[in-house]
A and B are shown apart, each in its own frame.
Chain A
Amino acid sequence: MNSASKIGRMERFLRDRRGNGSKLLVAYITGGYEGWEAAVETAAAAGADAIEIGIPFSDPVMDGPVIQKASQMALEAGASPASVLAAVPNLDTGVPHAVMTYYNLAHHAGHERFAATLVNSGIDAAILPDLPLVESAPWREAAAAAGIETIMLAAPTTPEDRLADLCEASKGFVYAVGLLGVTGERANLAATATEIAGRCKQVTDKPVLTGVGIGSPEQAVEACSVADGVIIGSAVVRRLLDGEGAEGVGELIASYRNALDAG
């Protein structure tokens, strides 16, 4: 069996928690933004099952205003892939870590080198939203060889045939993009959120998590009527932008955790 077909730490961890009857909660935090390390630890302590760490990029096309702003501020404060990743081994979370960034940073470093840097920093998985399935094979192979799970995004517009291939290729979990649009909280859960999660669930038994557009614990519960879990990003980062710090993030994640556990 080659390394590409083994189940990685992220997927094993999430499968175990799902097996215990728990809905999964992933928190996104922009690396390099003031106070991000404490926010990551607090989010994990408050009940996040995995943490997504953003490595800020100059041109975040999949992100809405909140994450754009945090990324830009982090970059202005001097954040780099190296500075963010160097801090990860010191984070005390007890849960798997994914990075969320854009493909050029992996391309520029070189696939093998970037994947090795992630592994050496205690990262389990990678999400590259501007690297669609059709362009992803060289990166996925290099990542798998190094032991990094590449989480693929499935969109409401993805046709059936590609959805099956995409879920097959995805490692760690399948990221179901909840709506047509960029990251950010919305007043109501889009109908597409449960639709795309349901379509993914029909073709894979990997954990399916819905992200993009979830704005409240109630919406998270609604999304989890179909999905195995949710990814909360802009709502978390907004707490940091509003100056509520790690404490605010902890309270927010706890409110999602409680809502999901109560069902």
Chain B
Amino acid sequence: MVMTDPTDEGRFGEFGGRFVPETLVPACEELEEAFRDAWNDPAFVEEFHQILTDFGGRPSALTECYRLSEQLDVRVLLKREDLNHTGSHKINNVIGQALLARRMGKSRLVAETGAGQHGVATATAAALLDMECKVYMGEVDMERQELNVFRMQLLGAEVESVSSGSRTLKDAVNEALRDWVATVENTHYCLGSVMGPHPYPWMVRTFHHVIGDEAREQCLALMQRFPDVVVACVGGGSNAAGIFSGFADTDVRLVGVEPAGGAAVGRGVPGVVHGMLSYLMQDEVGQVQEAESISAGLDYPGVGPEHAYLASVGRAEYPSVTDDEVVNAFQRLARIEGIIPALESAHALAWVIREAASLRGQTVLLNLSGRGDKDVDQMMSILGPGNKR
């Protein structure tokens, strides 16, 4: 049985753990205890789901892609996390963590962000719950996601540019950790994916479990059975963990799609960074390598430890797709289904398109983790204003 609770040490098999400076160990312990306590408190769980419904717009729709299904000869269903408030699945996790922070008496949130989706979601939760918010974002990402920077500022968050290392998501995590080391007494680190030290991978997956629960019900209502394949993109892996967790106890094939330039599971070896032991892209001595992807949200050299475990025991598979395949998938969904996906989510679709022949006649549930509004500027510079490609 996979995707149950980790061990007391926060391990999924050999992966996970709590590799943080001693200063933060008590904060992780406090967070773990507070999360266990809150998740066993029906009032907390009810408030969480109430906010996701009234404010977040849940449940998100299940959309059947008629034209794409006909073209590919694969029945494609989309779990529409792009329709959530703030435009992605990220809102589930931040509502959960912000409520938990408030319950722990912390008045300030710090977060890292890559594409800006998690930063926007955190800024939104902070505004909703009247908390101070600081978001760390790599310099490179701030340039390619300028609109999200402004959105965060509109929501009252301070966005801090990170100019160290590769100036992307990896370094934004380092800087958020450094902030937390100094401010741990009044600050909660609102980590954006199923990564980091225990209890984050488990807690973040639990807050996203709602994606899988809804999708399972929606599939049963539509087809009276499960899909054959569930597919999602994977950077740290939070949207994938959320939807996988609804089907972990079935024999549904689980596929996490990584970018070719950030294939931690595909090309990584076990290593320790950002508080966890997981697959990690690193050089021959153990220096962490820089990921390179068209999508800022997947530009991460590691992966959540539970995905490392699912890969190691063969429960899920983690192929990768190229930037070109992603651009094509992005355009195709826009043209024939009227949905502009986030570049991150387009990775999952790119895999379905590439594998269509082997998936023929099957039903694929794809987690459309976010909407592509944030990416149109970047796509315009890639494709040109006429979109002739």
Binding site for B on A (CB under 8 A): 57-62, 64, 68, 72, 75, 80-82, 103-105, 107-109, 129-135, 152-159, 162, 166, 177, 179-182
Q: Which residues of B contact A109 (CB under 8 A)?
A: 285-286
A77–B20 alpha-carbon span in the complex (Å): 28
Q: Which of B23-31, B65-73, B236-244, B315-323 contacts A (4 or more CB under 8 A)?
A: B23-31
15 further interface pairs, Cβ-Cβ under 8 Å (given A104-B288, A107-B272, A157-B25): A58-B289, A59-B171, A61-B181, A68-B164, A82-B285, A103-B19, A104-B282, A107-B271, A129-B22, A155-B21, A155-B22, A156-B23, A158-B26, A180-B23, A182-B178
Q: Which residues of A contact B22 (CB under 8 A)?
A: 129, 132-133, 152-155, 157-158, 166, 177
A176–B339 alpha-carbon span in the complex (Å): 55
In the complex, the answer to whether B164 meets A72 with C-beta atoms within 8 Å is yes
Cβ of A14 to closest chain B Cβ, rounded Å:
21
In the complex, the answer to whether B20 meets A105 with C-beta atoms within 8 Å is no
Tell me, yes or no, whether B165 is within 8 Å of chain A by CB: yes
Majority secondary structure of chain B interface residues (helix, strand, loop or mixed): mixed
Beta-carbon nearest neighbor of A166 in chain B = B22
In the complex, the answer to whether B182 meets A181 with C-beta atoms within 8 Å is yes
Beta-carbon nearest neighbor of B171 in chain A = A59
> Looking at the complex, which one of B25, B177, B287 makes contact with A132 (CB distance below 8 Å)?
B25
Contacts known (A59-B174, A159-B26); A103 close to B21, Cβ less than 8 A: no
Interface flags for B1-41 (1: CB within 8 Å of A; 0: not) read: 00000000100000001111111111100000000000000
Contacts known (A58-B287, A72-B165, A109-B285); A130 close to B181, Cβ less than 8 A: no
A129–B171 alpha-carbon span in the complex (Å): 18
Cβ of A149 to closest chain B Cβ, rounded Å:
17
A132–B22 alpha-carbon span in the complex (Å): 5
> Looking at the complex, which one of B9, B26, B269, B271 makes contact with A157 (CB distance below 8 Å)?
B26
Beta-carbon nearest neighbor of B290 in chain A = A58
In the complex, the answer to whether A132 meets B18 with C-beta atoms within 8 Å is yes
Cβ of B34 to closest chain A Cβ, rounded Å:
16
A135–B272 alpha-carbon span in the complex (Å): 11
Q: Which residues of B contact A182 (CB under 8 A)?
A: 178, 181-182
> Looking at the complex, which one of A104, A107, A162, A180 makes contact with B183 (CB distance below 8 Å)?
A180
Tell me, yes or no, whether B347 is within 8 Å of chain A by CB: no
Tell me, yes or no, whether B76 is within 8 Å of chain A by CB: no
Q: List 27 A-B contacts (CB under 8 A).
A: A58-B288, A61-B20, A61-B178, A61-B274, A62-B21, A62-B181, A80-B285, A81-B285, A103-B272, A104-B273, A105-B286, A105-B287, A107-B270, A107-B277, A108-B271, A131-B19, A132-B18, A134-B9, A134-B25, A135-B17, A153-B22, A154-B22, A155-B26, A157-B26, A180-B23, A180-B185, A182-B181
A108–B19 alpha-carbon span in the complex (Å): 14
A132–B170 alpha-carbon span in the complex (Å): 21
Range of interface residues on chain B? 35 or more
A134–B269 alpha-carbon span in the complex (Å): 23
A104–B302 alpha-carbon span in the complex (Å): 13
Interface flags for B160-181 (1: CB within 8 Å of A; 0: not) read: 0000110000110010011001
Tell me, yes or no, whether B127 is within 8 Å of chain A by CB: no
Cβ of A214 to closest chain B Cβ, rounded Å:
16
Cβ of B201 to closest chain A Cβ, rounded Å:
15
A244–B46 alpha-carbon span in the complex (Å): 61
Beta-carbon nearest neighbor of A109 in chain B = B286
In the complex, the answer to whether B23 meets A157 with C-beta atoms within 8 Å is yes
Q: Which residues of A contact B20 (CB under 8 A)?
A: 61, 130, 132
A31–B277 alpha-carbon span in the complex (Å): 26
Cβ of B139 to closest chain A Cβ, rounded Å:
14
Interface flags for B171-203 (1: CB within 8 Å of A; 0: not) read: 100100110011111000000000000000000
A100–B354 alpha-carbon span in the complex (Å): 47
Cβ of A87 to closest chain B Cβ, rounded Å:
16
Residue of B19, B277, B282, B288 with highest tally of chain A CB at under 10 A: B19
Residue of B22, B25, B182, B275 with highest tally of chain A CB at under 10 A: B22
A127–B296 alpha-carbon span in the complex (Å): 34
Cβ of A112 to closest chain B Cβ, rounded Å:
15
Q: Which residues of A contact B181 (CB under 8 A)?
A: 61-62, 180-182
> Looking at the complex, which one of A108, A154, A155 makes contact with B285 (CB distance below 8 Å)?
A108
Residue of B27, B170, B178, B277 with highest tally of chain A CB at under 10 A: B178
Beta-carbon nearest neighbor of B25 in chain A = A132
Cβ of B272 to closest chain A Cβ, rounded Å:
5
Residue of B181, B274, B275 with highest tally of chain A CB at under 10 A: B181
In the complex, the answer to whether B178 meets A104 with C-beta atoms within 8 Å is no
Within B215-236, the residues touching A (CB, 8 Å) are: none
Q: Which residues of B contact A152 (CB under 8 A)?
A: 22
Q: Which residues of A contact B178 (CB under 8 A)?
A: 61-62, 64, 181-182
Q: Which residues of B contact A129 (CB under 8 A)?
A: 21-22
Q: Which residues of A contact B177 (CB under 8 A)?
A: 61
Q: Which residues of B contact A130 (CB under 8 A)?
A: 19-21, 272, 275
Beta-carbon nearest neighbor of A180 in chain B = B182
A64–B164 alpha-carbon span in the complex (Å): 11
Q: Which residues of B contact A135 (CB under 8 A)?
A: 17-19
Cβ of B253 to closest chain A Cβ, rounded Å:
32
A179–B182 alpha-carbon span in the complex (Å): 8
Beta-carbon nearest neighbor of B288 in chain A = A58
